[in-house]
C-alpha cells in the first residue's frame, strides 16, 4: 500500500549503501543504489561521479518512487508484497520484478503490472493467502539470482537481502491483518 513506501525505501537503502563502482557490477557506478545512467536520465543531462555522490535525498526519493514503486504499482499491491516487489524492482529492474510476480499468479509475464496482474494477485491471496504469495515470490527471487552469471560475486548479499525483505514483508502483512 502507498503508506508503506517510506518503510520500503528505508529498508532498501540499508542494502544499497553508499558509493559503489564495482567492476563486476554491470550497473556501473552507483550512489545509494542509483546508477550513473539513471541519475543522468533523471536530470536530463550528463552527470559526473561527484554529482552522483552528492545526490540529494529528495532526488533519491523521487527516483525510487517513480522508477520502481510506481512503475510496479506497489501502491496497489497488498501490504508486505509491495515491499518485496519494490525491493526486487530496485535490485533487478521493474520488468523482472513484475515477471516474477506474474508467473506466480498465472498471468502472461509481460513485465508490466496492470489491472490483470492486480486482479490475479488479489485472487491468489484470497485463495492461498498473502503469506504464501510472499513465500513464493521470495523463492522465485532466489531462483532468479542463482541463474545470473554475477551470482558468484553478489549471491551471498542477494540471498541475505532477499531473506531480510521477506521477513519484513511477512511482518508488515501480519500487521495489515490486525
The DSSP secondary structure of 28-96, one letter per residue, reads: -SEETTEEHHHHHHHHTS---HHHHHT--HHHHHHHHIIIIIITTTGGGSPTTHHHHHHHHHHHH-HHH
Q: Domain residues for 91?
A: 2-177
CA distance 127 to 33: 36
Residue-wise pLDDT tens digits, 157-167:
899 999 999 99
CB of 96 closer than 8 Å to CB of 72? no
The predicted pLDDT at position 134 comes to: 97
Which helix (H) or strand (E) segment holds residue 124: the answer is helix 115-128
Query: For 21, phi and psi rounded to 5 degrees?
Result: -150, 60
Top-confidence residue, 54 or 177: 54
DSSP class of 72: T
The count of domains in the chain is 1
So what's the pLDDT on residue 3?
Answer: 84
Distance from C-alpha of 136 to C-alpha of 100, rounded to nearest angstrom: 9
Residue 176 is predicted with a pLDDT of: 60
- Between the two ends of the chain, the Cα-to-Cα distance in Å is 15
pLDDT at 105: 98
pLDDT digits (tens, 9 = 90+) for 86-103: 999 998 999 999 999 999
CATH code assigned at 106: 1.20.141.10
pLDDT tens digit sequence for 25-79: 878 899 998 999 999 999 999 999 999 999 999 999 999 999 999 999 999 999 9
Q: At what angle do helices 5-16 and 57-64 cross, to 10 degrees?
A: 110
pTM of the model: 0.91
Spatial CB neighbours of 104, under 8 Å, sequence gap ≥ 6: 124, 133, 136, 137, 140
Amino acid at each position: 500500500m502507498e503508506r508503506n513506501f517510506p518503510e520500503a525505501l528505508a529498508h532498501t537503502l540499508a542494502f544499497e549503501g553508499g558509493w559503489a563502482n564495482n567492476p563486476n557490477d554491470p550497473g556501473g557506478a552507483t550512489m545509494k543504489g542509483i546508477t550513473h545512467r539513471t541519475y543522468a536520465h533523471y536530470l536530463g543531462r550528463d552527470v559526473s561521479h561527484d554529482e552522483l555522490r552528492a545526490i540529494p535525498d529528495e532526488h533519491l526519493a523521487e527516483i525510487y518512487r517513480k522508477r520502481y514503486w510506481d512503475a510496479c504499482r506497489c501502491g496497489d499491491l497488498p501490504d508486505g508484497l509491495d515491499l518485496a516487489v519494490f525491493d526486487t524492482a530496485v535490485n533487478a529492474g521493474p520488468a523482472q520484478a513484475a515477471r516474477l510476480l506474474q508467473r506466480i499468479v498465472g498471468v502472461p509475464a509481460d513485465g508490466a503490472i496492470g489491472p490483470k496482474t492486480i486482479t490475479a494477485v488479489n485472487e491468489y491471496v484470497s485463495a492461498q493467502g498473502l503469506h504464501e504469495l510472499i513465500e513464493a515470490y521470495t523463492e522465485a527471487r532466489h531462483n532468479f539470482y542463482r541463474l545470473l552469471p554475477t551470482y558468484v560475486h553478489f549471491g551471498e548479499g542477494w540471498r541475505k537481502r532477499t531473506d531480510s525483505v521477506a521477513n519484513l514483508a511477512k511482518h508488515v502483512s501480519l500487521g495489515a491483518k490486525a
